[in-house]
Amino acid sequence: MDQGGLFLGVPDQVSVGVAFLTEAANVYETISGIHPLTSRLYGNLAMIHYQNEDLDLAREFGKRAAIICERTLGVDHYETLQQLVRNHYTPLFFLFLFFKIQ
């Protein structure tokens, strides 16, 4: 995962860095199943694809991050809520707040 981050700082090598991070996410998911670190990695990939204006991949990685975060940390954990808000799942977020308050 460290090598992927190094390549992201070089403008010409962003695709190589994204490939490293994607492979790292696949390895994490294969080895440990669902884990909060995998969720964070998918969230980072979503943000990278969003910044590169590849919205379909950003949405896909963001959805994976939110689902894994919800399953591992719970619905009311701050990282889960952060992933949901980051990925524009605001109706779900407000629905959660509505039922949490009552």
Mean pLDDT (the chain) is 77
Cα gap 67→55, rounded to integer Å = 18
pLDDT at 96: 57
Question: Does residue 17 contact residue 6 with C-beta atoms inside 8 Å?
Answer: yes
Going from the N-terminus, what domains does the chain have, and what CATH number goes with each? 2-101 (1.25.40.10)
pLDDT at 2: 47
- Cα dihedral 71, 58, 84, 28 sign: positive
Q: What is the pLDDT of residues 19-72, one digit of tens each?
A: 888 888 888 888 887 888 888 888 889 888 888 888 888 888 888 888 888 889
Q: Which of 9-18, 20-29, 42-51, 74-83 has the lowest mean pLDDT?
A: 9-18
Which candidate, 47, 45, 42, places its Cα nearest to that of 66? Answer: 42
What's the pTM value of the predicted model, to 2 decimals?
A: 0.71
